[in-house]
């Protein structure tokens, strides 16, 4: 989230699209209720289903799954065509006036530089600005140049008329226009809109561009960096934010640094692309500090073994050729290219798409290690559960070791919530039986590997033997020790920059802020954005002062928000170019003549005067936010509507480039996509208020509340198929088939798309063959193994199925 | 947290005595009220601040634990929303409100288990056996398949034949240690729930 849970209360308009907060995040949704009750906020919900969020909305608009970009591009067209943008904000704080290179263009669904044979944009050099001799981007402040980013945007979204939106999305034109009108009421500094989304946007082959489209809308409206604004990802797991920050991701390192590729053979090569010099005069371009964060991290990982002479142990890091993300891992497993797999609390048999492919992959592993507090389908993938998991154990040669882990109430440590707030939790009791904490298990693995490599030698043992491990008890590092390591400390005495005769920090002292990090090996810190969480003043994640002096829901002394305890990102943009708040209602930080003041930590150097024209978007080299993305996205500098891979129809805009042209499709999956002649119904998956993921089917109360798999369908479809509420239904896709009970409802209705009705069914994700709820074949039996072009998040939210009435499962067991 | 609700009643009574209410002759009122209240069932329980294990709203919860009559070990007896927490203000959803059932689920894992190739069952093993076996299997695979240089002779130091899927409900501290240990082996296929 750019803003926070509590900040939602400051919104005047809330748009929930790509999520269903009332059901999936009920206690976070409280802040929407708060905004409605006490800030006269209006709630817009755009969703294929009339969800629980929709049931309390002021305005609900349906759309066909997978058409969000068409809808959002239509909104952008409306705002631009009707002058409903925050002109001064857009001009000062975005790249609207930047002149884009001549070679850039878009035609028939393709941006410039596409290579048909390689199915990729091999030449993206034109997706950039014109530069002058000094390397500064050229701008036209009059916005007259047709190649100004905003003029190219206008031209790009011109096709998305309300009629086209209706044709693609199936959203009735009048509903769509009402949504546009309500959104447009925030195109000024007086009112703000917040966007709340979740997996309904990410789980598409255009996932990242869905979110980008909303970010662009929020920039046009001037809603970034202001109270009650922002683009807010409502994240799923309790610490998925922290684990993302800490880079348990194939091509990342902690703090959103990037793992080196095999083309970057030396540290110097690696840094060549990471100079991040400003491309507009006087800009901050904060990533210029990249080297300081990287070197400090290498010191944290490898301690004294990371030296200037060995390029800070650069060779200890693996270099990647391609992304080894979850879909790639499953493809490698199924292709027999993987031998071992650790699953630490991740139930991949349920979580990755195309269950048959995952099961094939698991069965080809030599060994599988499960670390989990609960029984999972993955741990039991080799076990026969009748039609719910019809396998022959004798034929599966995978060795499985299952380790019992403790859970939250049984351990202490910190977790980072969706608002980026790091909160400590305390241990209440020991875990059951012989269960152990994840820290102990991982430390044990390191100790044994180190012992084996010390004794026997082996392949490149250096990084394993030199992993920094100076914990008081090497077998059981304390969480506090680890959080200090993440925060960082001085490796040797650091002189005071103001007076080199004085010492700013003594060796071993904790760093107060990432600003003091260095690229000469004198500071260590595992994750630069976490610096400040554990300083000489103590563990900030433990802070529990609920005071909110401004009344804006900032709570500055409750836990610690990364970065630098900042609660709203880009908050410099809450004030106009002269440093005055855009309005008294939305006052957040402001310039008092000598420094930036307010209830939050300014997202800006605190003493830079407004007349220096330093942009608020300090992480970008230009200091402004990007309406035109340059080369940051692999599938285009502007979002474009592409049909899902299981396509209900050919793309009405450009039928020859119907789906995202740069999506990665593995050879093994080439024939795994469905077509509407065989599978004429659009399916989407979702979550229920009564269940969390695949865990709570192990919890008695939740298994009673929602005991079994169902398929939600509209009355028209049910009637056409002779299905009644409670009947057993078979749902089939190109990948497989499952059975579920019919839930026939008015909440899900056919949508008229391009002149023909499109029936939609909804499938909850929670049910499997392990647990206390009734057994079911998992929903991912049906879903396609293909991901978003940017980050490869699987397309769970729009795929094709057919349904028919069927008989109950032969072995339907009673609830335990 | 050191103050139980019953004690709070008594403290309130002392407060009353010092107030104008006390001056008016209602000195005993607080004591009478306190004596009439049934002992709160969590009075002897230990209250621990924690965070709901499920979604990333991160609702504050209070975990109450007490010695079990059978073995004397502390057990969780009650979980409720933390009303001091500004994010959830004491509320919990149907998942968080039932989280006591997660702590005590019959499907909690208690012991290391081992499934031999081709077997139709898990068998209980010791931690030492399980961890030694894992370390040996991992080293065997790493030593056999580690790629020090790619085809162009460039140092890549990667191990592609084993993957690691990290837990998105592990603490930051466990997550960072996992990153540290896994990356040091050269594993590139390190992922978590975030992408899926």
A622-638 per-position pLDDT tens digit: 999 999 999 999 999 99
* Helix ranges restricted to H, A170-303: 173-184, 199-202, 207-221, 240-245, 267-272, 290-302
Q: What is the pLDDT of residue B25?
A: 52
Task: Report CA B174 to chain centroid distance, whole Å.
Answer: 12
Q: Quick check: A240 and B56 CB within 8 A? A: yes
Residue of B55, B67, B151 for testing the chain A interface, max A β-carbons within 10 Å: B55
CA distance A14 to A25: 15
Q: A486–B172: do the CB atoms touch at under 8 Å?
A: yes
Residue A751: strand pairing partners: A758
- Quote the CA–CA distance of B130 and A324 in Å, as a whole number: 27
Tell me the chain B residues in contact with residue A463 when contact means C-beta distances shorter than 8 Å: 157, 183-186
Interface test with B, best of A7, A38, A412, A460 (most B CBs within 10 A): A460
The H or E element that residue B173 is part of is helix B172-184
Q: What is the pLDDT of residues A217-232, one digit of tens each?
A: 999 999 999 999 999 9
Query: Which uninterrupted H or E stretch holds A553?
Result: none
CA distance A669 to A212: 28
State the pTM of this model.
0.95
Write out the E strands in A239-378. 252-253, 257-258, 340-344, 367-372
Q: What is the pLDDT of residue B44?
A: 87
**Between vectors from CA A255 to CA A663 and to CA A558, what angle results, nearest 5°?**
120
Q: What is the mean pLDDT of chain A?
A: 97
- State the CB neighbour count (10 A cutoff) for residue B191: 27
Residue A326, classed as helix, strand or coil, is helix
Residue whose structure tokens are 């480039």: A657
Residue of B nearest to A328 (CA): B189
Helix or strand run (H / E) with residue A48: none
Q: How confident is the model at residue B12 (pLDDT cuts 50, 70, 90)?
A: very low
Query: A6, A233, A239: best mutation site toward chain B, by most B Cβ within 10 Å?
Result: A239
**What is the rounded distance in angstroms from the CA atom of residue A323 to the CA atom of residue A327?**
10
Q: Is A773 an interface residue toward B (CB < 8 Å)?
A: no
β-sheet bridge partners, residue A344: A371
Query: Burial, A612: exposed, middle or buried (Cβ in 10 Å; 0-12, 13-18, 19+)?
Result: exposed
Q: Give the DSSP H or E segment for B76.
A: strand B74-81
Is the Cβ pair A409, B95 closer than 8 Å?
no
Q: Which of B60, B107, B165 sits opposite A374 (nearest CB)?
A: B107
The closest CB to that of A318, out of B49, B158, B170, belongs to B158
Question: In the predicted model, is pLDDT for residue A620 greater than 80?
Answer: yes
Q: What is the pLDDT of residue B32?
A: 67
Residue of A nearest to B137 (CA): A367
Residue A229: count of CB within 10 angstroms of its CB: 31
- How far is A323 from B188, CA to CA, in rounded Å? 8
Q: Which A residues in the span 194-253 are in contact with B, Cβ-Cβ below 8 Å?
A: 234-251, 253
A703 pLDDT above the threshold of 60? yes
Across the interface, of B63, B102, B172, the residue whose CB is closest to A413 is: B172
On the question of pLDDT at B3 being above 70, the answer is: no
Of A248, A437, A544, the CB nearest to B191: A248
Tell whether the model's pLDDT for residue B108 goes beyond 60: yes
Q: What percent of chain A has pLDDT over 90?
A: 98
State the Cα–Cα distance between residues A393 and A416, nearest whole angstrom.
40
Q: Is the pLDDT of residue A445 over 60?
A: yes
Residues of chain A in contact with residue B110, where contact means CB-CB under 8 angstroms, are: 404, 432-435
**Burial class of residue B74 (count of CB atoms within 10 Å of its CB; 0-12, 13-18, 19+):** middle
Cβ contacts of A527 on chain B, cutoff 8 Å: 176
Question: Tokens representing A810?
Answer: 């032969």
Q: Which of A5, A439, A449 sits opposite B87 (nearest CB)?
A: A5
pLDDT digits (tens, 9 = 90+) for A297-355: 999 999 999 999 999 999 999 999 999 999 999 999 999 999 999 999 999 999 999 99
Contacts of A816 in chain B (CB under 8 A): 106
For B126, the closest chain A residue by CA position comes to A434
Whether omega before A563 lies within 30 degrees of 0, making that bond cis, reads yes
**Confidence check: pLDDT of B17 > 50:** no
Of A338, A414, A793, the CB nearest to B173: A414
Average pLDDT over residues B88-96: 98
Instruction: Quote the CA–CA distance of A230 and A186 in Å, as a whole number.
Output: 12
- Whether B184 and A316 lie within 8 Å, measured CB to CB: yes
Return d(Cα A235, Cα A238) in angstroms, integer: 8
Contacts of A672 (CB under 8 A, 6+ apart): A354, A734, A735, A784, A785
Residues of chain B contacting A452 with CB distance shorter than 8 Å: 135-136, 139
Q: What is the pLDDT of residue B41?
A: 75
**Residue A816: pLDDT over 50:** no
Within 8 A by CB and 6+ apart from A146, the residues are A152
**Which residues of A fall within a CB distance of 8 Å from B192?**
240, 243-244, 248-249, 346
Q: How far out from the chain centre does Cα A542 lie?
A: 26
Q: ipTM of the predicted structure?
A: 0.97
Strand, helix or coil for residue B142: helix
pLDDT tops 70 at residue B11: no
Closest to B163 (Cβ–Cβ): which among A329, A410, A546? A329
A377 shares contact with chain B (CB less than 8 Å): no
Tell me, what's the pLDDT at A810? 83
Greatest Cα pair distance in chain B: 94
B115 → closest Cβ in A400, A426, A467: A400
Cβ of residue A558 closer than 8 Å to a chain B Cβ: yes
* Inter-axis angle of helices A68-81 and A149-157, nearest 10: 120
Residue B16 pLDDT = 44
State the pLDDT at residue B35: 67
Tokens of A709: 């798999």
- pLDDT at position A287 is 97
pLDDT at B20 over 70: no
Phi, psi angles (nearest 5°) of residue B10? -70, -40
Strand partners, A685: A763
Q: What's the whole-number mean pLDDT along residues A600-609? A: 94
Question: Are B48 and A372 inside 8 Å of each other by CB?
Answer: no
Average pLDDT over residues A186-198: 98
Domains of chain A: 6-233 (3.40.228.10), 655-662+669-805 (2.40.40.20)
Inter-CA distances, B58 with A309, A427, A647, Å: 44, 16, 37
The answer to whether B157 contacts A546, with C-beta atoms less than 8 Å apart, is: no
Alpha-carbon distances of A389 from A359, A378, A384, A385, A393, rounded to whole Å: 9, 11, 6, 5, 11
- Rg (Cα) of chain A, in Å, rounded? 27
Give me the pLDDT at residue B34, please.
67
**Nearest-CB residue to A318 (from B63, B87, B186):** B186
Q: Name the nearest CA neighbour of A63 among A29, A15, A1.
A: A15
Tell me, yes or no, if A291 comes closer than 8 A to chain B by beta carbon.
no
Question: In Å, how far are A151, A663, A681, A753, B175 from A653, measured between CA atoms?
Answer: 20, 18, 21, 13, 45
Mean pLDDT of A172-178: 98
Q: Which of A323, A361, A409, A453 to mutate to probe the B interface, most B CBs <10 Å?
A: A409
The pLDDT tens digits of the residues spanning A708-729 come to 999 999 999 999 999 999 999 9
CB contact under 8 A, B157 and A319: yes
Predicted local confidence at residue B5, as pLDDT: 43
């Amino acid at each position: 989230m750019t803003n926070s849970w509590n900040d939602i209360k400051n919104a005047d308009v809330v748009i929930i699209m790509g999520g269903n907060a009332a059901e999936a995040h009920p206690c976070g949704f409280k802040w929407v209720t708060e905004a409605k009750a006490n800030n006269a906020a209006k709630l817009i919900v755009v969703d294929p289903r009339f969800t629980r969020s929709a049931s309390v909305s002021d305005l609900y608009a349906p759309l066909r799954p997978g058409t969000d970009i068409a809808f959002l591009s239509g909104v952008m067209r409306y705002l631009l065509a009707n002058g409903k943008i925050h002109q001064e904000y857009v001009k000062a704080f975005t790249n609207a006036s930047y002149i884009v290179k001549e070679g850039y263009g878009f035609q028939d669904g393709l941006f410039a530089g596409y290579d048909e044979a390689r199915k990729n944009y091999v030449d993206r050099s034109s997706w950039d600005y014109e530069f002058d001799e000094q390397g500064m981007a050229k701008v036209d402040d009059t916005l007259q140049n047709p190649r100004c980013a905003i003029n190219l945007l206008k031209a790009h979204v011109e096709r998305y008329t309300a009629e086209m939106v209706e044709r693609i999305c199936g959203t009735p034109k009048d509903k769509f226009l009402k949504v546009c009108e309500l959104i447009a009421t925030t195109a000024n500094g007086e009112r703000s809109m917040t966007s709340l989304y979740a997996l309904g946007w990410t789980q598409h082959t255009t996932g990242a561009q869905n979110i980008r489209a909303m970010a662009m809308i929020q920039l046009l409206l001037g809603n970034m960096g202001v109270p009650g604004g922002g683009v807010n990802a409502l994240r799923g797991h309790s610490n998925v934010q922290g684990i993302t920050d800490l880079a348990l991701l194939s091509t990342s390192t902690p703090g959103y640094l990037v793992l080196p590729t095999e083309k970057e053979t030396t540290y110097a090569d690696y840094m060549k692309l990471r100079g991040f010099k400003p491309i507009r005069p006087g800009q901050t371009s904060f990533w210029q500090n990249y080297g300081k964060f990287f070197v400090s991290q290498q010191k944290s990982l490898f301690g004294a073994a990371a030296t200037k002479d060995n390029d800070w142990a650069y060779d200890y890091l693996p270099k990647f050729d391609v992304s080894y993300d979850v879909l790639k891992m499953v493809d490698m497993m199924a292709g027999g290219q993987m031998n071992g797999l650790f699953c630490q609390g991740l139930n991949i048999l349920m979580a990755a798409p195309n269950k048959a492919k995952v099961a094939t992959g698991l069965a080809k592993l030599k060994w599988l290690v499960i670390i989990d507090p609960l029984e999972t389908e993955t741990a039991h993938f080799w076990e026969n559960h009748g039609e719910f998991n019809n396998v022959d154990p004798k034929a599966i040669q995978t060795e499985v070791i299952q380790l019992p882990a403790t859970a939250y109430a049984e351990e202490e440590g910190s977790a980072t919530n969706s608002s980026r707030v790091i909160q400590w939790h305390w241990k209440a009791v020991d875990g059951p039986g012989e269960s152990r904490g994840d820290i102990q298990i991982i430390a044990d693995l390191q100790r044994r590997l180190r012992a084996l490599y010390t004794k026997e030698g082996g392949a490149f043992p250096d990084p394993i033997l030199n992993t920094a491990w100076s914990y008081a008890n090497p077998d059981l590092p304390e969480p506090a020790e680890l959080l200090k390591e993440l925060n960082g400390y001085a490796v040797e005495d650091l002189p005071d920059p103001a007076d080199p005769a004085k010492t700013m920090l003594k060796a071993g002292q904790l760093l107060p802020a990432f600003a003091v990090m260095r690229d000469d090996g004198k500071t260590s810190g595992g994750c630069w954005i976490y610096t400040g969480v554990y300083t000489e003043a103590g563990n900030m994640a433990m802070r529990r002062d609920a005071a909110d002096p401004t009344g804006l829901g900032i709570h500055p002394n409750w836990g610690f928000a990364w970065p630098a305890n900042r609660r709203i990102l880009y908050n410099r943009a809450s004030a106009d170019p002269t440093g005055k708040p855009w309005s008294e209602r939305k006052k957040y930080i402001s310039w008092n003549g000598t420094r930036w003041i307010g209830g939050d930590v300014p997202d800006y150097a605190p003493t830079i005067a407004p007349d220096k024209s330093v942009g608020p978007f300090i992480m970008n080299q230009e200091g402004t936010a990007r309406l035109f993305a340059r080369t940051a996205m692999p599938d285009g500098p502007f979002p474009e509507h592409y049909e899902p891979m299981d396509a209900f129809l050919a793309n009405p805009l450009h039928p020859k480039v119907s789906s995202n042209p740069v999506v990665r499709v593995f050879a093994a999956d080439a024939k795994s996509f469905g077509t509407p002649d065989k599978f004429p119904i659009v399916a989407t998956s979702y979550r229920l208020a009564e269940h969390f993921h695949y865990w709570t089917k192990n919890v008695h109360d939740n298994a009673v509340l929602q005991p079994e798999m169902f398929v939600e369908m509209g009355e028209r479809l049910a009637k056409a198929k002779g299905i009644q509420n409670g009947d057993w239904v078979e749902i089939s896709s190109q990948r497989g088939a499952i059975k579920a009970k019919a839930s026939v409802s008015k909440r899900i209705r056919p949508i008229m798309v391009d002149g023909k009705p499109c029936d939609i069914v909804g499938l909850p994700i929670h049910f499997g063959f392990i647990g206390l709820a009734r057994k079911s074949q998992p929903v991912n039996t049906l879903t396609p193994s293909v991901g978003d072009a940017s980050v490869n998040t699987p397309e769970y939210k729009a795929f094709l199925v057919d349904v028919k009435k069927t008989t109950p499962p032969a072995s339907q067991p009673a609830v335990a | 947290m050191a103050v139980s609700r019953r004690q709070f009643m008594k403290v309130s009574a002392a407060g009353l005595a010092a107030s104008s209410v006390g001056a008016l002759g209602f000195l005993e009122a607080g004591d009478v009220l306190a004596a009439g209240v049934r002992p709160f069932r969590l009075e002897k329980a230990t209250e621990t601040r924690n965070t709901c294990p499920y979604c990333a709203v991160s609702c504050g919860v209070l975990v109450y634990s007490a010695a079990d009559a059978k073995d004397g070990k502390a057990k969780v007896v009650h979980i409720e929303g933390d009303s001091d927490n500004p994010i959830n203000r004491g509320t919990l959803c149907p998942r968080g409100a039932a989280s006591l059932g997660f702590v005590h689920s019959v499907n909690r894992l208690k012991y290391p288990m081992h499934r031999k190739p081709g077997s139709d069952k898990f068998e209980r093993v010791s931690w030492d056996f399980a961890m030694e076996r894992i370390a040996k299997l991992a080293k065997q695979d790493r030593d056999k398949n580690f790629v020090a240089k790619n085809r162009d002779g460039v140092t890549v130091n990667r191990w592609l034949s084993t993957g690691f899927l990290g837990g998105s409900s592990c603490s930051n501290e466990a997550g960072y240690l996992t990153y540290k240990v896994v990356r040091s082996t050269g594993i590139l296929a390190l992922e978590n729930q975030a992408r899926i």
